[in-house]
């Protein structure tokens, strides 16, 4: 007992002594205008002790013995250290940071202060991202970046977008930019299998679905050769740098968010006849009264669903001066606007940054793991005369019921039942993705550091398709039933070694130099099996719940398992960059990269890509010191060469394919001279800021000229019927234009702020010297397939000299004759541009006390859309068969006997202005001891569109490729764009 009492006494004395060695310091943290800063980090230097400020900016912290330095940090402000050795309370005023994230751009293999960057770059921070229902990072940028066109190709959640920077730069190679996530370049593909079905091919999924938009800190878009040449043969289409959020100093912080979304109808409906108009049309055209079904049916409404979408997010972060971490989790169930379509995502990330050996060694790592599944509805790009669910809904007789006595109504007058199509179709995909990176950097000398990075992207995808045979009217499906199972695997990895030197040559002359080596490899493979002719679910009344994919052996026709493996693509690169800065007035940047690629022919294994850029920071000149107008004025110019190697792997080598019964055939002809496309780009720009930076912007002019255009044809006979890839040596594809970005802080007070930002871009695109390499005759490539009954196989676009890529090439519409028949010329003519020539965006943010309103809108102008839906689905001839028709046709002089034909009549102006998002947020502040930064918001997406286009959405780019040649701006029975409302709540712990 005496021993226990003695030990207890010693313990109490130790505690008293320890407490005597500690002391308490209180304080407040404010901005320069006196606004309290909630959630600022306050840590004790050299210790793990730390707190965060309350809603009123106050804090209380216990300092261990011999510790007297506090470090205070806040997003967008300069980190400060305060000596409190003789203080019991302190007031800290945080200054806006000039080197914080808001002033730093992420460039290839590094970062730079924006004012020191010599190239054309647009940097968008998390606070400026688009809001609402965001499934993929590219949607965060719509209408935010001048010269960047982000087009939603489908309203299906998770569908891929078309992204172009400064116009179309290639004919056969890819046009999407290179994506780099935390320093790791992506392959650009996805492991979701694409398989055909009875309704055609479905749109691709977005390759960035595995990245949680909530985890992104900023996105930098590199547009000119000064920024993109460091990526050599992959930089011609621009580079999108995605940087994820990292942990901060201080105790663990927990951020949580939840949102619920609901549909508020179509953003815009395709204009077909209402029930009353349809009945009037029957009388107008003397059609039989038996076509009037006696009811009122809205088929377009019947195929939509009212399901609520849900998103739940959680983030944990913290650390100290020697190590930081951040982990996030996302669970999302985003229902599609159409029945039986949705996107489910489960994503997790974890990253950390740790310093060792007196901060000489740093280890950074990042992990992104995700699983997402899609349920797809039968909306296809290539539906023929039988159509898909959208064509069935549009052409449905609005006086006929979809069901009779609980059974589907299948009229014999040429219109499928859209609800039955959805019911008979089941198409599910599942993709698991992993993106990981780890890097180690060691400071060899104070100004010299070495960095090693390893990154890996691995994806596996599966897809199961069931099409039940009880659905009538579809050849190859009805009375049979179809099924397919497919799997794909995508792998890529990157190894980087870089050496970086940053130092001063003199008091006014500094240099930032980089040298590096990179190895990149990617593989893509897959396989699957298809079957047809089942003996179940051929009668709707006797359906069973067993899908065909569970009983594939039951099929009459069981096709052999197919498999493929694309040739591996490898890229070995050497690169360097040096930026010289004299007195913050004159900057010069030189970049060089040498790429060796397995895609190139044996005679062109390496490509060389240099660039040079200069900047004159005019406001730092002595003659500008007394100026009170400009806070920033810089003139930039750059020139360089980049490449595009986004053509199929193995295009330069001889390839054979194994067919049925041991047959082998050549599918690709060897070309030892095959090389990358080469793009030479000149850019000149002006950056400015006036009124102490409250008004700011940039103006750029660019000229991009692509040569050595990649081209593929069928090999000249008597060679095997195989693809032959070559470069057209004299052909050029030119894009030139201007870009303007403007921003202003109109009001900036403690209780009210108002910011606006806008951007404008004009681009001109033209092809020259597009001649056959054999004989030199001008080439005319016809593409842009038109589908539907009466027009299937018709081509609508041309790629040729003197015109933009995909110029419309159609028979000219000549009006209606006396019998109400449409008339048109016998031969196609050049009919207009399908590429938007003007892009514009506008956003504004207003904050009043605790309310914040953000609005983002934008549009495209100067182009034409072909309304393939009006040509083949809702044409006036359908009314004689009991189908609904186009309102425009009804209001014209056309009569039901008019022939169905593709011509320039169906070209419509694509100009539009869309309110993409409006969000109203209320900041409640803190509640109690644990809940902080509570905010609630309501957000609306796609609230309205102003356009003369008669289809669902002028923002359309259905894939109507023919022979591998791209198409542009064809509208054909797409998945419609919904109007969406979202309620959300965010808070911290």
What are the extents of the domains in the chain? 17-94, 178-263+286-988
- Output the six-digit token pair for 346: 């489960």
Same fold flag, 17-94 and 178-263+286-988? no
Q: Among candidates 440, 435, 319, which has minimal Cα distance to 367?
A: 435
Q: What is the DSSP string of 965-978?
A: B---SEE-SPPPPE
pLDDT value at position 719? Answer: 58
- Mapping DSSP to helix (H, G, I), strand (E, B) and coil, where does residue 671 land? coil
3-state secondary structure 920-940: EEEEEEEECCCEEEEEEEEEE
- Output the six-digit token pair for 897: 């006997």
- Output the six-digit token pair for 202: 């479905």
Beta-strand relationship, 178-181 and 239-244 = parallel
Beta-strand relationship, 864-867 and 970-971 = parallel
- Output the six-digit token pair for 807: 């110029």
- Mapping DSSP to helix (H, G, I), strand (E, B) and coil, where does residue 394 land? helix
pLDDT digits (tens, 9 = 90+) for 719-758: 566 788 888 888 999 999 999 999 999 998 888 999 999 9
The predicted model gives 948-967 an average pLDDT of: 89
The predicted model gives 380-392 an average pLDDT of: 86
Least confident among 208-222, 865-879, 902-916, 925-939: 925-939
**Dihedral (CA of 148, 153, 156, 158) sign:** negative
Most confident of 246-260, 403-417, 650-664: 246-260
**CA-derived radius of gyration, the chain:** 31
- Mapping DSSP to helix (H, G, I), strand (E, B) and coil, where does residue 871 land? helix
The predicted model gives 712-718 an average pLDDT of: 67
HSE toward the beta carbon, residue 828, CA cutoff 13 A = 19
Q: Please state the length of the chain.
A: 989
Enumerate the β-bridge partners of residue 489: 460, 525
pLDDT value at position 792? Answer: 85
Helix (H) or strand (E) holding 546: none
Starting at the edge strand found earlier in the chain, the sheet holding 178-181 runs: 121-125, 216-222, 239-244, 178-181, 184-185
Helix (H) or strand (E) holding 959: none
pLDDT band at 804 (very low <50, low <70, confident <90, very high): very high
The predicted model gives 371-400 an average pLDDT of: 90
User: Burial letters for 465-485: b for 16+ Cβ neighbours within 10 Å, e otherwise?
Assistant: bbbbbbbbbbeebbebbbbbb
pLDDT band at 717 (very low <50, low <70, confident <90, very high): low
pLDDT band at 99 (very low <50, low <70, confident <90, very high): very low
pLDDT digits (tens, 9 = 90+) for 565-621: 988 999 999 999 999 999 989 999 999 999 999 988 889 999 999 999 999 999 888
**The CATH fold of domain 17-94:** Immunoglobulin-like (2.60.40)
Alpha-carbon span 483 to 39, nearest angstrom: 55
Q: What is the DSSP string of 21-73?
A: H-EEEEEEEEETTS-B-TT-EEEETTSS-EEE--TTSEEEEEEPTT--EEEEE
pLDDT value at position 380? Answer: 85
What CATH architecture does domain 178-263+286-988 belong to?
Beta Barrel (2.40)
Helix (H) or strand (E) holding 628: none
CA distances from 499 to 183, 355, 512, 686 (A): 15, 18, 11, 31
Q: Among candidates 829, 834, 784, which has minimal Cα distance to 809?
A: 829
Neighbours of 849 (CB within 10 A): 10
Alpha-carbon span 189 to 279, nearest angstrom: 49
pLDDT value at position 18? Answer: 42
Say yes or no to pLDDT of 101 above 60. Answer: no
Say yes or no to pLDDT of 98 above 80. Answer: no
Q: Are 904 and 302 in contact (CB under 8 A)?
A: no
Beta-strand relationship, 723-728 and 709-714 = antiparallel
Alpha-carbon span 418 to 392, nearest angstrom: 5
Collect contacts of 194-198 with beta carbons under 8 A, ≥24 apart: 195/463, 195/465, 195/484, 195/486, 195/528, 195/530, 197/378, 197/380, 197/425, 197/427, 197/465, 197/467, 197/482, 197/484, 198/386, 198/467, 198/474, 198/476, 198/477, 198/482
- Output the six-digit token pair for 134: 């965001």
Helix (H) or strand (E) holding 636: strand 630-644
More reliable by pLDDT, 505 or 401: 401
Enumerate the β-bridge partners of residue 212: none
Most confident of 506-510, 560-564, 977-981: 977-981
The predicted model gives 370-392 an average pLDDT of: 89
- Mapping DSSP to helix (H, G, I), strand (E, B) and coil, where does residue 742 land? strand
Give 521's contacts (C-beta < 8 A, 6+ positions apart).
492, 493, 568, 569, 570, 571
More reliable by pLDDT, 664 or 660: 664
Give 662's contacts (C-beta < 8 A, 6+ positions apart).
none
Enumerate the β-bridge partners of residue 221: 122, 240
DSSP state of 304: B
pLDDT digits (tens, 9 = 90+) for 536-555: 999 998 999 999 999 999 99
Q: Are 969 and 864 in contact (CB under 8 A)?
A: yes
pLDDT digits (tens, 9 = 90+) for 448-480: 999 999 999 999 999 999 999 999 988 889 999
pLDDT value at position 250? Answer: 82
Q: DSSP E strands: which ranges in 166-215?
A: 178-181, 184-185
Alpha-carbon span 226 to 237, nearest angstrom: 13
Say yes or no to pLDDT of 414 above 70. Answer: no
More reliable by pLDDT, 39 or 398: 398
Alpha-carbon span 136 to 131, nearest angstrom: 12
Q: What is the mean pLDDT of the chain?
A: 89
Alpha-carbon span 850 to 885, nearest angstrom: 51
- Output the six-digit token pair for 412: 């014999």
Least confident among 70-79, 125-134, 287-296: 70-79
Angle at 713 between CA 797 and CA 642, to 5 degrees: 80
Query: Residues of the chain with pLDDT > 90: what percent?
Result: 66
pLDDT band at 202 (very low <50, low <70, confident <90, very high): confident
Q: Are 759 and 143 in contact (CB under 8 A)?
A: yes
Overall pTM surpassing 0.85 (yes/no): yes
DSSP state of 210: T
Backbone torsion region of residue 351, taken as left when φ is above 0, otherwise alpha when ψ lies between -120 and 50, otherwise beta: beta
The predicted model gives 33-49 an average pLDDT of: 75
Q: What is the DSSP string of 241-289?
A: EEEE----SEEEEEEEEEEEEEEEEESS---B--HHHHHHHHHHTT--G
Q: Among candidates 463, 468, 476, which has minimal Cα distance to 545?
A: 468
User: Burial letters for 772-805: b for 16+ Cβ neighbours within 10 Å, e otherwise?
Assistant: eeeeeeebebbbbbbbbbebeebbbbbbbeebbb
């Amino acid at each position: 007992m005496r021993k226990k009492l003695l030990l207890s006494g010693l313990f109490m004395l130790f505690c008293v002594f320890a407490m005597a060695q500690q002391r308490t310091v209180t304080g407040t943290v404010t901005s320069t205008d006196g606004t309290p800063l909630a959630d600022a980090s306050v840590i004790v230097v050299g210790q793990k002790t730390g707190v965060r400020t309350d809603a009123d900016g106050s804090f209380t912290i216990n300092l261990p013995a011999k510790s007297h330095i506090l470090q205070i940090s806040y997003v967008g402000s300069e980190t400060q250290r305060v000596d409190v050795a003789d203080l019991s309370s302190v007031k800290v005023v945080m200054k806006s940071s000039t080197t914080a994230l808001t002033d730093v751009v992420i460039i290839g293999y590094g970062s730079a202060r924006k004012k020191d960057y010599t190239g054309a770059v647009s940097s968008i921070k998390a606070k400026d991202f688009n809001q609402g229902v965001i499934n993929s990072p590219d949607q965060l940028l719509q209408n935010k970046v001048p010269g960047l066109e982000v087009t939603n190709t489908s309203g299906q959640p998770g569908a891929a977008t078309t992204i172009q920077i400064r116009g179309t730069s290639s004919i056969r190679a890819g046009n999407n930019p290179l994506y780099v996530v935390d320093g790791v370049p992506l392959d650009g593909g996805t492991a979701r299998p694409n398989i055909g079905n009875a309704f055609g091919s479905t749109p691709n999924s977005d390759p960035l679905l595995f990245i949680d938009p909530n985890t992104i800190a900023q996105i930098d878009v590199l547009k000119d050769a000064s920024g993109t040449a460091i990526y050599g043969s992959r930089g011609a289409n621009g580079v999108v740098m995605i940087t994820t959020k990292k942990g901060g100093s201080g105790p663990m912080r927990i951020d949580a968010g939840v949102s619920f979304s609901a549909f508020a109808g179509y953003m815009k409906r395709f204009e077909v006849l209402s029930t009353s108009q349809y009945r009037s049309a029957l009388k107008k055209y003397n059609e039989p009264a038996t076509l009037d079904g006696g009811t009122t049916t809205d088929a377009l409404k019947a195929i939509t669903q009212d399901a609520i979408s849900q998103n739940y997010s959680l983030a944990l972060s913290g650390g100290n001066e020697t190590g930081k971490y951040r982990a996030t989790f996302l669970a999302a169930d985003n229902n599609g606007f159409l029945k039986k379509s949705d996107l489910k995502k489960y994503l997790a990330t974890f990253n950390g940054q740790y310093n060792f050996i007196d901060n000489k060694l740093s280890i950074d790592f990042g992990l992104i793991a995700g699983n997402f599944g899609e349920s797809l509805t039968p909306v296809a790009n290539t539906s023929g005369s039988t159509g898909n669910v959208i064509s069935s809904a549009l052409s449905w007789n609005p006086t006929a019921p979809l069901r009779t006595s609980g059974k589907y109504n299948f009229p014999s007058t040429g219109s499928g039942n859209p609800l039955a199509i959805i019911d008979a179709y089941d198409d599910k995909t599942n993709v698991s993705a992993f993106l990981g990176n780890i890097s180690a950097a060691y400071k060899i000398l104070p100004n010299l550091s070495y960095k090693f990075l390893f990154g890996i992207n691995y994806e596996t995808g599966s897809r199961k398709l069931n099409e039940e045979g009880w659905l009538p009217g579809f050849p190859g499906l009805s009375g049979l039933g179809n099924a397919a199972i497919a799997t794909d695997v995508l792998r890529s990895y990157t190894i980087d070694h870089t050496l970086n030197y940053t130092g001063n040559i003199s008091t006014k002359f500094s240099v930032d130099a980089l040298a590096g080596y990179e190895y990149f490899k990617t593989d893509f493979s897959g396989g699957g099996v298809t079957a047809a002719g089942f003996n179940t679910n051929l009668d709707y009344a006797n359906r069973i719940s067993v899908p065909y994919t569970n009983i594939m052996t039951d099929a009459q026709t069981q096709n052999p398992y197919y498999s493929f493996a694309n040739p591996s693509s490898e890229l070995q690169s050497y690169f360097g960059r040096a930026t010289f800065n004299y007195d913050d007035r004159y900057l010069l940047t030189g970049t060089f990269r040498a790429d060796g690629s397995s895609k190139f022919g044996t005679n062109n294994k390496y490509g060389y890509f240099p660039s040079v850029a200069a900047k004159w920071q005019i406001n730092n000149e002595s003659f500008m010191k007394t100026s009170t107008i400009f806070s920033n004025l810089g003139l930039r110019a750059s020139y360089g060469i980049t490449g595009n190697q986004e053509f199929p792997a193995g295009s330069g080598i001889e390839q054979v394919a194994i067919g049925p019964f041991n047959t082998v055939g050549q599918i690709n002809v060897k070309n030892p001279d095959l090389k990358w496309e080469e793009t030479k780009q000149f850019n000149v720009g002006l950056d400015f800021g006036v009124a102490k930076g409250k008004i700011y912007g940039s103006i750029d002019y660019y000229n991009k000229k692509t040569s050595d255009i990649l081209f593929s044809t069928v090999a000249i006979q008597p060679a095997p019927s195989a693809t032959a890839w070559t470069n057209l040596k004299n052909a050029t594809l030119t894009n030139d234009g201007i870009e303007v970005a403007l921003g202003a802080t109109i009001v900036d007070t403690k209780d009210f702020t108002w910011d606006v930002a806008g951007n404008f871009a004009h681009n001109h695109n033209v092809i020259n010297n597009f001649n056959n390499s054999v004989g030199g005759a001008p080439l005319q490539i016809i593409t842009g397939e038109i589908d539907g009954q009466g027009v299937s196989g018709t081509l609508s676009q041309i790629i040729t000299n003197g015109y933009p890529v995909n110029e419309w090439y159609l028979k000219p519409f000549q009006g209606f004759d006396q019998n109400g028949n449409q008339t048109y010329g016998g031969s196609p003519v050049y009919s207009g541009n399908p590429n938007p020539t003007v892009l514009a965006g506008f956003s504004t943010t207003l904050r009043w006390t605790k309310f914040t309103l953000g609005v983002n809108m934008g549009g495209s102008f100067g182009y034409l859309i072909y309304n393939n839906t009006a040509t083949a689905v809702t044409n006036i001839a359908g009314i004689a068969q009991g189908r609904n028709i186009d309102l425009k046709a009804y209001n014209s002089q056309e009569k039901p006997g008019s022939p169905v034909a593709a011509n320039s009549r169906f070209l419509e102006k694509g100009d539009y202005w869309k309110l993409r998002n409006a969000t109203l947020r209320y900041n409640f502040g803190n509640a109690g001891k644990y809940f902080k930064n509570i905010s609630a918001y309501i957000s609306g997406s796609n609230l309205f569109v102003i356009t003369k286009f008669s289809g669902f959405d002028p923002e359309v780019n259905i894939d109507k490729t023919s022979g591998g040649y791209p198409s542009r701006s064809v509208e054909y029975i797409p998945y419609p764009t919904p109007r969406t409302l979202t309620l959300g709540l965010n808070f911290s712990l």
